[in-house]
Structure 1
Amino acid sequence: MFSVTVSNISSSTTQEKLHEFFSFCGNIKSIDLKSEGETAQSAVVTFEKPSSAGTALMLNGGTLDGEQLNITSDVEHHNHQEQPHHSSSPFEQSEKPRAGIAAEYLAKGYSLSDHILQRAIEIDHKQGISKRFLDYMRGLDTTVGQKALGSDQTVSGRVHSTLQNARTRAKTIDEQKGYSKVAHEYYSKAISSPFGKSVLEFYTNTSKQVRDIHEEARRMADQHPVTSSSAANTTHATSTGTAGPDAEPGLATQASPTVV
């Protein structure tokens, strides 16, 4: 069983909110939510994969509905790379870099301390990034580069000024051929933006810093302001690790958990 125990849950937190919070970690099998008196609740969250449970443990101390969650497990859940399997999608949520998952939380408006973000970086550095995710991002580097910049070009091989000029071309190609609908919309558009090279480096390089996660979260949040479902967790972007609607502008992304 790939489960974690969550305590100090606010009495106002519903099972739906808890599911939304932990769905960033990966596919959830079940949530057993119980009352702990009049002011708190606890839950056992069971995931399909051990790496998802490991990501959940990384979030210990994160805030939901104004309360700091205590997330523990009696079992060590290794964040190992999952075995590849046949799927219509190129990778699963659990295969994303942990720093990328942390950025998604911040972009959604959840509050994570810089200590948690550092944990995400350490996991990526220790465990690496799944081969399927790396292959997908490197494929985008080539595919988007060729579509936006010309034959035999890659995003990582071009400088910022060139990408600035290529953005309009990439957008036109997207509209004409629906490329974004074939791939994950956020990643394909992010790679073809003026920030493309830095985005590619963020998702393929384990040498990150906390500020890199904040910057990616701001890019994500730009065109998708925090929704009302997580408004209670939203504040301005600060050193505590929160990205809200007043965060610095950047790229568009999916505002909801990107379980794929």
Structure 2
Amino acid sequence: MKIPTEQTPKLVKVTNIGKDTKPETLRDFFTFCGKIQDFEVEADGEHQKALIMFESSKAAKTAELLSNALVEDSHIQVEPYFEIPALTDEKAAPSPERLITDGDDDEKTTPGHDQDKKTVSNIMAELLSSGYALGDQVLAKGIEFDHQYGVRDTVQHYYDQIRHNLQQWDEQYHVSEKANEVEQRIGLQEKQKEVSEKAHEWLQNTPTGQKVSGLITQFSQQISDLHNEAKRLVSVRQNEAQSKPSGAAA
């Protein structure tokens, strides 16, 4: 990858990638954040490292918020490539139009659509539903970003929509009764336990960790909402697959 001569917030570096993680696996993970313009992975001792150039700065910031997520067997670390001074809230905030998301449109819960139109929380719910273990500390940082830089009414609408959708699907497909089955299918229980155990010491013993620990308490209901939304999305896909006529194209 050719490094830009001018500093840009769209370029991030990713470290602590498992040595056996395939580039396409890593690319698929970060595609949830937004469109990727350029991508490079190389060996880094016993691990791998990567450079990712996104098409938007919001996609890059979303990727940074995913630092410490579990990708296969390693907790990846994500940070901006360039040390750019923080923008003021007014300049850093995405416009209201960029944060609008339609909670009813389940067909948009796969990579390839315009992720810049979604809240960070929305993207994290999609990652959870695809089997990635983010950990509550990662979710809390995403929720804080939405509250800090998002349009507050839009963010609240998203969580209200989650609860409305979950109630509807629970009544129609008994989502709550399938919760354990869904969690086992996407490996959430085992992965989340591993993430929580490895994050506990960091949360307790570092200033940053203590701040995030406070965010977990502050946003506990919304963190729970994201886990429930992930289960609902999996249930939606399962029921759609089961309703397809035999022999129908995938």
- The TM-score normalised by the length of structure 1 is 0.53
Q: Of 4, 29, 36, which residue of structure 1 is paired with 2:12? A: 4
* CA positional deviation for 1:82: 5.0
- 1:22 pairs with one of 26, 30, 52: 30
Q: Retained in 2: the 8 A contact 1:9–1:40?
A: yes
Is the CA contact 2:67–2:76 (under 8 Å) kept in the aligned structure 1?
yes
Aligned to 2:193: none
The one-letter amino acid of 2:38's match is S
Q: Quick one: structure 1 residues 9 and 60, their matched pair in 2 at CA, closer, same or farther if it must change by over 3 Å?
A: same
The residue that corresponds to 1:103 in the other structure is: 125
Structure 2 CA distance for partners of 1:79 and 1:94, relative to 1, 3 Å: farther
> Which structure 1 residue ranges, 4+ long, deviate > 3 Å from structure 2?
75-79, 82-85
Describe the shift of the 1:104–1:129 C-alpha distance in structure 2 as closer, same or farther (beyond 3 A). farther
Unaligned runs of 5+ in 1: 142-155, 168-205, 226-250, 254-260
Q: CA deviation at 1:65?
A: 1.7
Which letter maps to 2:228?
E
Which consecutive unaligned segments of at least 5 residues does structure 2 have?
A: 1-7, 99-107, 173-218, 242-250
Q: Secondary structure at the match of 2:34?
A: coil
Do the aligned residues in 2 keep the contact of 1:98 with 1:120 (CA within 8 Å)?
yes
Task: Confirm or deny: 8 A CA contact 1:25 1:53 kept in the other structure.
Answer: yes
Give the match for residue 178 of structure 2: none
Deviation at 1:84, TM superposition (A): 6.0
The residue aligned with 2:67 is 60
Secondary structure in 1 matching 2:237? coil
> Per-residue deviation at 1:207?
10
1:176-219 superposed Cα distances (whole Å, 9 cap, x missing partner): xxxxxxxxxxxxxxxxxxxxxxxxxxxxxx99621011111110
Residues 27/130 of structure 1: CA separation in 2 closer, same or farther (3 Å cut): farther
Residue 80 (structure 1) shift: 2.7
Q: Deviations over 1:126-179 (max 9, x none)?
A: 112599x88x98xxx9xxxxxxxxxxxxxx8xxx79x96xx7xxxxxxxxxxxx
What is the aligned partner in structure 1 of residue 48 from structure 2? Answer: 41
How many corresponding residue pairs? 163
- Residue 224 of structure 1: CA displacement? 3.4
Describe how 1:70-149 pairs up with structure 2 within 5 A: 70-73=77-80, 74-75=83-84, 76=86, 80-82=93-95, 92-129=114-151
* 1:96 and 1:129 in contact (8 A); partners too: no
- Would the alpha carbon gap of residues 54 and 101 (structure 1) be closer, same or farther in structure 2, given more than 3 Å must change? same
Describe the shift of the 1:83–1:31 C-alpha distance in structure 2 as closer, same or farther (beyond 3 A): farther
CA contact (8 A) 2:35 2:54 kept: yes
Matches within 5 A, 1:97-246: 97-129=119-151, 209-224=222-237
In the TM superposition, what is the alpha-carbon distance from 1:53 to its structure 2 partner?
Answer: 0.6
Distance in structure 1 (CA, Å) of the matches to 2:141 and 2:26: 21
Coordinate RMSD, CA, aligned: 3.8
User: What is the aligned-residue identity percentage?
Assistant: 28
Cα gap change, 1:212 to 1:114, in 2 (>3 Å): same
C-alpha separation in 2, matches of 1:207 and 1:123: 15
Q: Which amino acid aligns with 1:126?
A: Q
| 1:55-76 CA-partner distances (Å, limit 9, x unpaired) | 0010010011210001111335
